[in-house]
Every structure is written in structure tokens, then in C-alpha cells.
């Protein structure tokens, strides 16, 4: 009986996994009239990550990426131009034309990239469809295939991007409004990027030594709060230079009056005696570049950043209109947590830059500091605990904090507060915050003692982020005419 044709070589020995054995094999390219790809000595498993990605013209494929001609190796195919050129035996040393067509035996082999790319964690959901082996052999190859339309759109996964400025240890508002939501999103989505926005921090004057320490402190706090580098990419923004390069291109598509109308510019410029710098004016464009550089589809934002995300959406649409459909228009993921206000002035949000030290509760505060700050929190002359942000902003802020740290609804918190006056209720809220932050504070102290580990986390995350960013930015360069 004739042996069944195979696209792959013999299986690896039992002493060595087939994938490891395959990684040791060379993958030469054969220079012929049509560009060919020599997939020699594969195991019977799908191609390993080191193999070159093979892109096949869509005119020979159907909508799900399978060959239109189901005859093995092009037999009974009368179209000479599209006929797959294989050696007669179609044996272990197996040649594929890259440009025109593909062998049925090869394209019938399917793989999931997350099963064969351990250095590219959780990029593809478990529910994603399988796709032809020709489409991907490396994460970079898959990204290029996606951007060039080689794969169908239903294979694109949702991607989350968000960032935080390195202001040191985050405060209560940062944790409840952003970081807590980040922890939930890394469990829900399969492609998540979180960035320490050190470039954005330069819009306000900082000493270099302070900035370096703030970057490490913010990283330690994020990790202590539950961010897992195995489930997301955590990296420093400045370690991926494509952020600023793309920002320049997008800035050339953005008009100045639009930036001057943004409320963040007006507010911060007024705080600098109307002497705001260029970075303060244009940092929303850099934010847009941060998001679009990874083709992010969803961005968790607070209420004060919605207008900046709308700018990113408009820039993406403008770019697509000018150069062709390329960037997805990112959607907002709004936090369900009410905005946390200052404990000393409940009409403004809690901030690290507040000159009143008792106004802001930091994640790393000691129990004594937390109790003192809540005891001094501004309320009113009514002792009953109610929720009415317009007429009783101070007490309503305490109720919002209590509900957020306990995971209860506003109604449940108010039910628990029946019979308590505001003085006693402040201590109840303080105790809830202490219980929430005590394990986080202890973990922050441990992480801060190992700066090498924190630096390694950020550098490793930047390498992975750059692997995503580079092919996207290179395509942007091509579209605008740089190459």
C-alpha cells in the first residue's frame, strides 16, 4: 500500500518533545521563480514558533482560510498559474509557493498560536477559532497577517489598553477608579496592556531622582493590588519609542483649536498661571498614540478622560479616512465606581497634588493615618447618614467609598448605617478601608525591597509590547509614505 503523503518529517524521539526537536531544525528559503518556502523535517505537530509565516493569496482561499481547490497538491487543477508546485512525492522535504497557492495537506493543518507561542501569553482566547498553519508561525507573523487582511476579522481579539502616571504610591481614588477595574479586566480579556506613563509625567516639573523612585513605587503598588504580568503586559511607556513617533504623525492630523478646548488644558494651564508648556497641550495626542499603537479596541477610562478618548476616536477615524481603514475606533469602558472626592473638599476629586495632606488617602498609609484622615473628613451638621451628592457631598463621598471597598451597593451600605451618626460612620468607613489596604500595604513593602525585580518586570513587558507595536507602526510608516 502506498504511503500516505505527509507535509512533515518523522516524529521526534520520545526523549525530546517534538516541538523542541522541530525548533532545532533549519527552515531554509528556496530562491526560485516563485518565492518558495521549504518546511523541511517538521514533526507531525503544527509548525513551531520559529518557522516563517507563510502568506497565501486570498484568491486561492475561501472565507475560513481553506483552499478553494480540495485536490491534494493541485491535482486536477487546470489553472497553470495557480497550480501548487510540489515535488512529485510531496514528502518530508516539502516546498510551498508563498505568493500564489498552498498545498491542501499543509493548509488543512490548524493550530492555535497561544498553544505554540508560550512567550506571547493569552493573546488568543480559548474560544477563538482555529486557523490555517500557513497564517502564523510566530506572534509577529500573526500580527502582520491580521493587519494585511490575510485572516478574517472574526479572528481578531479585543484588546485593552490603559495607563497610569507614576506619581508614587496610588491613592484611594486611583485604586477604586482604575486599578481595581484593571484587575478584573485582566481576568476577562485575553490581550491586555497596562503602561506606566512616564512620558506623560513630564508635563509637570519633577526631579529625575523623584521620577525614578515614583516609577518603581507605582509598579510595586500595581503588582501588590493584583496585576499579574502573566496575564497582561505591564511596561514603561518610554521603553517603547514607537509611542512618541506615532504621536508626531497623529499630531500632524490634529488641529490646535481642538486641543485648546479640552478642559484638562484649561484647568492645568490655569494652575500654572496660564504658562502651560507644549507637552501639556499635546499630551492628549500622545494618549491617542498610546491607544492606537496597539490597535486597542477598549480603553477603561474615568469620567474626566472621556473627552480625551473621544479625541483618540476622532484621530483614528481621520487617519482611516485619509489612508484607508487601519485603526479600530476604541471604545470606552467606564468604571462603575463613583468618582472619589477629596476628604477635605468633597466638591473636587481626590488627588496626589492636593496641598492638604489630610485630603488624600494613600494605599500605603498606616491604619493610624487612615483613621486620622477619615476623622477629619468634611461632612455637614446633619448627623444622619444619607446619600445625596448634590446637597450632602461630604457624607455621600463617604458612602461611595464604603460601597466601593466592600463591594456593596449604595442601598446596602445605607441600610447598615441606620442608627449611626456621621462621626461613628466615619470610623466604620475607615475600618473598611484599613481591612482592604492592609495586605496590599504589606505586599508593597516587600516589592519595594527588590528593585531589580521591578525593573525586570517593566523591561520584559516592554519587550512584549514592542513586539506588538513594531509591525503596526511599520505599517503606519508605509501608509503615510515613509517607506
Q: Which residues on neighbouring strands pair with residue 193, listed in sequence order?
A: 161, 233
206, 231, 339, 349: the active-site residue = 349
Distance of alpha carbon 296 from alpha carbon 285, whole angstroms: 15
436 labelled catalytic: no
Q: Which of 160, 113, 122 is CA-nearest to residue 141?
A: 113
d(CA 476, CA 171): 37
Q: Is 231 a residue of the active site?
A: no
End-to-end CA distance of the chain: 54
Beta carbons within 8 Å of 482's beta carbon, 6+ residues apart = none
| Calpha distance 205→275 (Å, rounded) | 13
Answer yes or no: 349 catalytic: yes
CA distances from 378 to 23, 366, 389, 405 (A): 65, 21, 13, 20
* Residue 299 to residue 158: CA distance in whole angstroms: 11
The residues near 259 (Cβ < 8 Å, ≥ 6 apart) are: 265, 281, 282, 284, 285
What single-letter DSSP state applies at residue 254? S
Nearest of 74, 49, 56 to residue 467 by alpha carbon: 49
Instruction: Assign 407 to helix, strand or coil.
Output: coil
Rounded Cα–Cα distance for residues 361 and 356 (Å): 11
- Active-site residue among 268, 339, 451, 466? 268
Is the CB of residue 115 less than 8 Å from the CB of residue 142?
no
CB-side neighbour CA atoms (13 Å) of 374: 27
User: 339, 352, 451, 466: which is the annotated catalytic residue?
Assistant: 352
CA dihedral 284, 458, 446, 208 (to 10 degrees): -60
**DSSP state for residue 153 in the 8-state scheme:** G
The residues assigned a catalytic role are 268, 349, 352
Amino acid at each position: 500500500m502506498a504511503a500516505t503523503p505527509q507535509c512533515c518529517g518523522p516524529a521526534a524521539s520520545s526523549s525530546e518533545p517534538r516541538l523542541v526537536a522541530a525548533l532545532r531544525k533549519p527552515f531554509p528559503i528556496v530562491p526560485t521563480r516563485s518565492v518558495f518556502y521549504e518546511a523541511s523535517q517538521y514533526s507531525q505537530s503544527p509548525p513551531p514558533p520559529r518557522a516563517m509565516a507563510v502568506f497565501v493569496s486570498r484568491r486561492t482561499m475561501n472565507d475560513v482560510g481553506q483552499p478553494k481547490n480540495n485536490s491534494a497538491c493541485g491535482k486536477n487543477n487546470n489553472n497553470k498559474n495557480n497550480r501548487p508546485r510540489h515535488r512529485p512525492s510531496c514528502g518530508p522535504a516539502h516546498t510551498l509557493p508563498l505568493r500564489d497557492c498552498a498545498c491542501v495537506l499543509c493548509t488543512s493543518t490548524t493550530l492555535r498560536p497561544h498553544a505554540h507561542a508560550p512567550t506571547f501569553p493569552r493573546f488568543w482566547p480559548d474560544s477563538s477559532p482555529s486557523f490555517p498553519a500557513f497564517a502564523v508561525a510566530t506572534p509577529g507573523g500573526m500580527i502582520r497577517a491580521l493587519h494585511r487582511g490575510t485572516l478574517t476579522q472574526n479572528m481578531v481579539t479585543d484588546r485593552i489598553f490603559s495607563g497610569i502616571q507614576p506619581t508614587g504610591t496610588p491613592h484611594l481614588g486611583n485604586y477604586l477608579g482604575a486599578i481595581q477595574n484593571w484587575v478584573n479586566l485582566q481576568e476577562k480579556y485575553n490581550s491586555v496592556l497596562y503602561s506606566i506613563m512616564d512620558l506623560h509625567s513630564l508635563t509637570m516639573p519633577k526631579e529625575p531622582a523623584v521620577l525614578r523612585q515614583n516609577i518603581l513605587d507605582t509598579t510595586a503598588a500595581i503588582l501588590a493590588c493584583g496585576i499579574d504580568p502573566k496575564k497582561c503586559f505591564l511596561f514603561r511607556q518610554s521603553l517603547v519609542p514607537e509611542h512618541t513617533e506615532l504621536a508626531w504623525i497623529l499630531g500632524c492630523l490634529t488641529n490646535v483649536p481642538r486641543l485648546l478646548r479640552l478642559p484638562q488644558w484649561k484647568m492645568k494651564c490655569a494652575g500654572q498661571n496660564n504658562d502651560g508648556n507644549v507637552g501639556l497641550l499635546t499630551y492628549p495626542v500622545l494618549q491617542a498614540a498610546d491607544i492606537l499603537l496597539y490597535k486597542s479596541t477598549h480603553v477603561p477610562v474615568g469620567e474626566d478622560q472621556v473627552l480625551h478618548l473621544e479625541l483618540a476616536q476622532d484621530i483614528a477615524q481621520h487617519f482611516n479616512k485619509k489612508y484607508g481603514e487601519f485603526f479600530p475606533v476604541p471604545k470606552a469602558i467606564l468604571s462603575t465606581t463613583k468618582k472619589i472626592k477629596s476628604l477635605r473638599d468633597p466638591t473636587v476629586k481626590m488627588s496626589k497634588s492636593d496641598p492638604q495632606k489630610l485630603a488624600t488617602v494613600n494605599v500605603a498609609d498606616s491604619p493610624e493615618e487612615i483613621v486620622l484622615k477619615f476623622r477629619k473628613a468634611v461632612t455637614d451638621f446633619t448627623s444622619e447618614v444619607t446619600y445625596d451628592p448634590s446637597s450632602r457631598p461630604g457624607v455621600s463621598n463617604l458612602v461611595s467609598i464604603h460601597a466601593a471597598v466592600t463591594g456593596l451597593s449604595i442601598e446596602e451600605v445605607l441600610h447598615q448605617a441606620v442608627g449611626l451618626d456621621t462621626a461613628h460612620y466615619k470610623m466604620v468607613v475607615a475600618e473598611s478601608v484599613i481591612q482592604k489596604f492592609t495586605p496590599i500595604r504589606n505586599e508593597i513593602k516587600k516589592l519595594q525591597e527588590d528593585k531589580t525585580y521591578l525593573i525586570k518586570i517593566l523591561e520584559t513587558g516592554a519587550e512584549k509590547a514592542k513586539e506588538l507595536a513594531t509591525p503596526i507602526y511599520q505599517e503606519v510608516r508605509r501608509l503615510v509614505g515613509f517607506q
